[in-house]
Amino acid sequence: MRILAIDIGGTAIKSAIANEKGEITDLREHPTNAKEGGPAVMKTALEIAHGYEDFDCIGISTTGQVDPKRGIIVYANENVPNYTGTNVKQIFEQEFHKLTCVENDVNCAAVGETHYGAGRGLRDLLCITYGTGVGGAIVINRQIYGGAHGLAGEFGHLITHPNGRQCGCGQHGCYEQYASTTALVREARKVDPSLYNGRLIFEEWHKGNTAIRMIVDDWIDEIVFGLVTLVHIFNPNGIILGGGILAEPYIENEINKRIYKRVMQSYSDFRVVKAELKNTAGLLGASVIAFKTKIGMYEREY
């Protein structure tokens, strides 16, 4: 089966043709131009889809909170203005007359990693990405768990610092205000304003910059504090960590050193691993969901 997979991110829209074996061909990438707003993003995504031929169904991974039953964007922040309320499923099905499945990007990445990546062989796992914010997905018995309305897994909005920093969600002290790459950059720029991304921060780290090393170590502690809470809630087999900054081996090594010291011994039978599929995880996850829905075998806990 030929599945058109589309991954709508804040920076780029990736697309490819996938099959039921997890093989990807004709991988393409276009700028999202997210600041132009939801309608413009949809127009671009449709144009991209028209560039492919002879596909049987469509799987879409997208930024934002998604109602996967209806294929609607329940909420998207101002990184993509006017995206909230967009009925992605309806737009694509009216245009192409093909079954279209829509799911949150982190959930898609978790499905991809579960089937083809770091989650192979794991039954119950958490997938967490660290970037602009902190995204999460819950896999129970190898199925995405969405909660009552399909929105579970917003780990970035755990309150780890009551009365702490203001978050875009309206609350104070959310996990992503301390553990995201954005949070790391915020602290590093207090030392050196030129350190505006993770790559530059770790260049300084590798040079032995003591102040930056302290900031990085404090930030890793913030990551671990949240992970410890999640381990005690979900008791997973594994935790898959994603995000470009996780390419730094020091981060993964330190998380593994610190987390087992903080969880109760009875919860310690799990492993923390980096995501393996990188920029294809969302595409592969979206293709799995679309394929299994097409043949009537996709199950998702709501």
Domain boundaries, the chain: 3-109+279-294, 122-275
Residue range 96-125: average pLDDT? Answer: 95
Region of residue 227 (phi > 0: left; psi between -120 and 50: alpha; otherwise: beta): alpha
Residue range 271-297: average pLDDT? Answer: 92
Residue range 281-297: average pLDDT? Answer: 93
pLDDT tens by residue, 152-197: 999 999 999 999 999 988 999 999 999 999 999 999 999 999 999 9
pLDDT at 302: 33
pLDDT at 299: 66
Closest residue by Cα to residue 33 from 51, 14, 10, 49: 10
* Cα distances (angstroms) measured from residue 153 to each of 16, 21, 61, 150, 235: 27, 27, 16, 9, 15
- CA dihedral of residues 289, 77, 43, 33 (deg, nearest 10): -110
pLDDT tens by residue, 209-260: 999 999 999 999 999 999 999 999 999 999 999 988 998 999 999 999 999 9
Residue range 11-39: average pLDDT? Answer: 94
Amino acid at 145: Y
pTM: 0.89
pLDDT at 11: 85
Closest residue by Cα to residue 96 from 40, 61, 42, 55: 55
Residue 74: count of CB within 10 angstroms of its CB: 17
Mean pLDDT taken over the chain: 94
pLDDT band at 300 (very low <50, low <70, confident <90, very high): low
Which CATH number fits the domain 122-275, given the four candidates 3.30.420.40, 3.40.800.10, 3.40.50.1820, 3.30.565.10? 3.30.420.40
Domains 3-109+279-294 and 122-275 share a fold: yes
Q: What class, spelled out in words, does domain 3-109+279-294 have in CATH?
A: alpha beta
pLDDT at 301: 46
CA 184 to chain centre: 18
CA 36 to chain centre: 22
Is 90 exceeded by the pLDDT of residue 56? yes
Percent of the chain whose pLDDT exceeds 90: 87
Percent of the chain whose pLDDT exceeds 70: 99
